[in-house]
Amino acid sequence: MKKVALLLILIFVMSPAVFSQIFLDAAETDWANIPVAIQAPDNTPGSYPADVKAAVNDIVDVKEVKAVIENDILYTQIKFWGGPAWPNSAVIEDQSGVMKVRHRGYYHLGIDLDNDATTGVNMFFYEAHYTPAGFLNSLNDPSIVIDPVGAEAAIMWGCDYEWTPVDGSEEPVVKYISYEWYDWSQNNWEIDDDRTLMIAGVEVDDPDTTDARAWVGIKTLAGSEVDVFKDDSTSTFFAGSGWGFDFIEIGMDLRPFMAYFGDANFIPGAVFGITPMIETPIDDWAVDVTTRGEVTYPGPALQRPIVFDGLENDWNDIPVAIDAPDNTPGSYPADVKAAVNDIVDVKQVKAMIEDDVLYTQLKFWGGPVWPNNAVIEDQSGVMKVRHRGYYHLGIDLDNDATTGVNMFYYEAHYTPAGFLNSLNDPNIVIDPVGAEAAIMWGCDYEWTPVDGSEEPVVKYIAYEWYDWSQNNWEIDDDRTLAIAAVEAPYPDTDKAMMWYGDMLIAGSEVDLYKDDSTSIFFAGSAFGYDFLELGMDLDPFIAYFGQELFTPGAVFGITPMIETPIDDWAVDVTTRGEVAYPGAAVTRSFIMDAKDFDWTNIPVAIDAPDNTPGSYPADVKAAVNDIVDIKQVKAVVENDVLYTQFIFWAGPAWPNNAVIEDQSGVMKVRHRGYYHLGIDLDNDATTGVNMFFYEAHYTPAGFLNSLNDPSIVIDPVGAEAAVMWGCDYEWTPVDGSEEPVVKYIAYEWYDWSQNNWEIDDDRTLAIAGVEITNPDTSKARKYDGYLTIAGSEVEAFMNDSTSMFYVGHGWGYDFLELAMDLEPLMVFFGTDNFQPGSVWGIAPMIETPIDDWAVEVTTRGEVEYTTVTGVNDREMVAEKFELFNNYPNPFNPTTTIKFTTPKASKVNVAIYNMLGQKVRTLVDRTVSAGNHTIAWNGTDDMGNMLSSGVYLYRLESQFGIKVKKMTLIK
C-alpha cells in the first residue's frame, strides 16, 4: 500500500482564490496581454528643481502600472525604473560604528470607486511636491498632465525588516508583512491631514525573507478601524504578492470594499480610477505618485455553494450520503486491524456536485481532527510529534460496483463493519463501491517537539486525482495512477487548516497530463473540529475518463478511505453512498432548472389572451386546453444563446396528456407536442412566413383581429427562422400500471423564410436538429448540455456529423424554458442581423394533438440581440483565435475538439496522420464568432476506423493556423 502522496514538483507559482489567470509568481508571462494602465516618466535627477522632494531612486520610482480584476480580486503590477526593487535597502546608516541596512516600504494603490476625480482624496500636495511630473503639472507645463485620481479607497502591501549589518554577517529578520484595505474618502493630502481609516488588515504569520519576496493565501482578519469589521475575528480575505527584479505584483480581495462602501459601484462594466503611491524611507520618505489610470470591474465572482471556512452552516441542507458505525475497541476481534482513533474514523459523509466541483464533508467520531498527532515517538530523548494523513474519496463513475477497485480487503480487514459483513452478519451490509476514480487531500508535517518549543513546519499540502480502475486491494497490488496533482503554495499551518484556489498542475503519472505545465484546477479544504470539507474540480476526470460518464442525472457511488500513521496505517473505509451529477458546470445566467427565479427581471415580450371556450365562434379552431395556451412569453439573448420562457394559462403543462383514447378496451394516454418560436431576423414583418392562416383560423385573437376588432391587433411576425423543442412518448395505460416510455426529445432550427401558411404549403427546411441519446421521462422534464448534430435538410450541415450545439429546457408547473444555440441560424442566414442592438420579432407556435392539432399562435413580440455574457460565464465570447487540447486524450473511440474564433469566418478543421496525409475533414464552412465544439470518432472520410497512433488536428481560418496532437488507442 502506498503510504505517501505522489512526489510533486514543488512549484513557486501562486494561485489566487477563485479562477484566476494571474499568478503571483514573480514572473511576467501572465501579464503579457494586460494593457498598460499608467505610464510614468523617469524621475532622473536634474529633471526638476531641487526643492521638489521627489524620489530619485529608480527602485521606488514607478514606470508602468497594469491592473485587472478577476473574480473580485484586484491584481496590480507596479513596475519600476530600476531594480532589484526588493529588498530595497531603504535606509543605510552607521550605528555605533557598524554600517546597517533596513528594508522597508509601503506600496499603495489608490482606487477611485465612483470614477469621479472630484470626490475622494485630493492628492495634489503629493502630486505637486513629491514627483517631478506633479511639480511640472502644477506649473501648468503643457507636456505634463496629471489627472487627480479622487480615490475613495486604497489597498496596500507593507513590509518592515529589522536593522542588519550591511556586510551580511547576520541574516535579515522580517518584522511584519501586511496587506491592508483603506478608506481614503475623508483624507486631504493637500494639507496632509491623513484622515485615513483601515477598513481591514491581514498579516503573514511568522514572516521571513522568502515570504517578503512572494506569498499568497487566505488570511483571517487581523485588525480594523471601522464598525463593519471592528469586532470581527472570523472573516477571511485573499491577499498575495510577488517581487520580480523590477516589479511587484499584488492581488487583493475586493470584498472588504464591497462590505464597507456597498455594492453600488461594483456593477459589471464599472470603471475605477487608479494611481499608485509608493512610500519608502529612501530620500526622506519621498512619495512617488503617478498620473491616473483605469481598471474595469467585469462582474462579481463565481459564488460557490460551499465556503471553505471550517463552519458547517452551508452543509445543513445537504443530505447524509453515508452513515458509518463507531469503531470502538471491543466491537470486533483483535485480529481486525481497524482504526480505533476516533479522529480518523468516519461518522458521516455528505457530498454534492455543482459547477463541475465535487464538494465532500467527511465527519469523524472524534476531534480535533487536525492537526492529528499521527505519530508520537521518542527521538534521542526528545518526545516528538508528526501530523500526517491522506483523506481519499473513492468514486464509482459508472455506478457499477462490479467494475473498478475491489475494496474487499480493506473492508473486511480494516473496519469492524467490513469484518462483520465478511462474516455475513445480517445487520451489516457493505456494498462494494467499485471505484474507478478517487480524489485525495494529503498533508505531511516535519517532526516537532511535543512540548511546543518549536513551531510546526508543514512539508506539503497536496490535492490529487487518481485512476483506481486497475487496482485490486484484495491482494493489495496498488495499481493506482495519479491523473493530476496540485499543491497549496507556500504551505504553512494556516493553509493546512484552510486553503482553496486555482492551482497549476504540479505532476501526473498519465500521458494526458504528463508534460502539461499549464492546466489549472480548483481545489480547496477546511477542517472544523470534527470534520473535513473538501472541494475538488472534476475536470481531470472528465478529460481522462471521458464526457460520456458525466451526463446530467448520472449517479456516482462514493466511499471514503482514510489513511494515517495512527494504528500502524490502519485504514478506515465505510459502506457505499451516492452523489448525483447535475450536469456540466453552470456557465450561464439562465439555468434550465424548471425554476423561474432567474426570469424575474426579464420583461414580458408578449401578453396573450385566455382562449376560454365561448370567447370565439365555434368554427375557429383555437386550442381550448389551457395547458397549451400561451399566457406570456419572455425572451433574452446571452452569449449567442436564445433563452425563451413560454408561460401557459394553466398547468401542469408537462406531461401534457395530449391524447387519451380507448385501445382494445384499455384507456391509454400519449404525451406529445412541438413548441416553436418563430423569429423575424430582419425585423420586417412583410418578409418571411405569412402566419395569417394560423393567426386568423386557430386563435381567437387572430380571428377577432381578422374581423378588424379594434381591441385586438395581431402584427404578423414575418419569421425567417424558428427554433423548436419536440417530444413524443409511447402509449401507456392511463391507470399508471406501466412506466411511460419516451420515444425522442429533439431540438431543431428551421428556415421558415419560404413558407406560406396562408395556403398551408409547409415549405420549411430543417437547418439542423439534435436529439437526446437514451431519452427518458426525467430528461423530458429537464435537460441541459451540448449535443452532436443528428440531421439537416440544408447544404451547410447536411453531411455534418460532428458539430455540437448547446440546448436545454426545463418544465415548470405552467411554463417551459428553452435554450437554443444561435450558431445554426448564424451559419445559414449569415451574421448581418446578428449585430449588437439588432431587434427581432418573435411569436410562439404551439402544436399538440390536443383539440385535433389546433395550433396556438400569439401576437408579435420582440427580443434584442446582444453579445452580453452571463456574470458567471466561463465560456465567454471568444476574443481570440484559439485551438484547445482535445479531451479525452488518449481516446477510444471518440474525442472532443474545441476552438474559438473572434469573428464569423470560413473555418477548416481536419485530421492528419503523422505522414501529413489528411484522413478526415470535420468542418469546412463558415461558423459564427465564439466557442465551437466538434466530435471525432476515429474514422476517416470513408467511415473506416483508423488504427491506433498519434494524429494531428489542424484548425485553419483567415486568422491563422493552429495544430495540436492527439492519440487514438484501441
- Residue 193 predicted with pLDDT over 90: no
Contact 725/816 with Cβ under 8 angstroms? yes
Residue of 770, 731, 729 lying closest to 748 (CA atoms): 770
Q: What is the pLDDT of residues 829-869, one digit of tens each?
A: 988 888 888 899 998 988 888 766 667 777 788 998 875 43
Q: What is the pLDDT of residues 325-335, one digit of tens each?
A: 787 777 666 66
The mean-pLDDT minimum among 315-324, 731-740, 760-769 falls in: 760-769
Q: What is the pLDDT of residues 423-434, one digit of tens each?
A: 666 666 666 678
Q: What is the pLDDT of residues 900-937, one digit of tens each?
A: 887 777 888 999 887 778 899 888 877 777 778 788 88
| Mean pLDDT (whole number) for 174-192 | 86
CA dist., res. 813 & res. 478, Å (int):
51
Confidence of residue 391 (pLDDT cuts 50, 70, 90): very high
Q: What is the pLDDT of residues 544-582, one digit of tens each?
A: 887 778 877 788 999 898 888 875 565 677 778 899 887
Q: Which pLDDT score, from 0 to 100, does residue 572 have?
A: 74
Confidence of residue 1 (pLDDT cuts 50, 70, 90): very low
The mean-pLDDT minimum among 496-500, 578-582, 857-861, 874-878 falls in: 874-878
**Which run of H or E residues covers position 632?**
strand 630-638
Alpha helices, DSSP H only, in 762-910? Answer: 777-781, 823-829
| Mean pLDDT (whole number) for 720-749 | 94
CA dist., res. 343 & res. 345, Å (int):
6
- Residue 192 predicted with pLDDT over 80: no
Q: Which pLDDT score, from 0 to 100, does residue 877 have?
A: 38
Alpha helices, DSSP H only, in 43-176? Answer: 124-130, 132-138
Percent helix, strand, coil in the chain, to 5, is: 10, 40, 50
Q: Does residue 57 sit in helix, strand or coil?
A: coil
CA dist., res. 909 & res. 900, Å (int):
12
Confidence of residue 528 (pLDDT cuts 50, 70, 90): very high
The mean-pLDDT minimum among 47-61, 566-580, 777-791 falls in: 47-61
Q: Which pLDDT score, from 0 to 100, does residue 868 have?
A: 41
CA dist., res. 178 & res. 182, Å (int):
13
Q: Does residue 419 sit in helix, strand or coil?
A: helix
CA distances from 896 to 729, 803, 861, 888 (A): 31, 10, 38, 7
Q: What is the overall mean pLDDT for the chain?
A: 82
Q: Which pLDDT score, from 0 to 100, does residue 125 have?
A: 57
- b/e code 573-590 from CB counts within 10 Å (16+ = b): bbbbbebebbbbbbbbbb
CA dist., res. 486 & res. 9, Å (int):
9
Name the β-bridge partners of 256.
none
Neighbours of 384 (CB within 10 A): 17
> Tell me, what amino acid is at 229?
F
CA quadruple 937, 943, 948, 950: dihedral sign? negative
- Residue 306 predicted with pLDDT over 80: yes
Contact 804/933 with Cβ under 8 angstroms? yes
First to last CA, the chain: 30
Q: Which three cell numbers stand for residue 301?
A: 465572482
Contact 70/240 with Cβ under 8 angstroms? no
- Residue 257 predicted with pLDDT over 90: yes
> Exposed, middle or buried by CB within 10 Å (0-12, 13-18, 19+), for 626?
middle
- Residue 659 predicted with pLDDT over 60: yes
| Mean pLDDT (whole number) for 616-630 | 72
Q: Which pLDDT score, from 0 to 100, does residue 400 have?
A: 86
Q: What is the pLDDT of residues 230-240, one digit of tens each?
A: 888 888 898 99
- Residue 147 predicted with pLDDT over 70: no
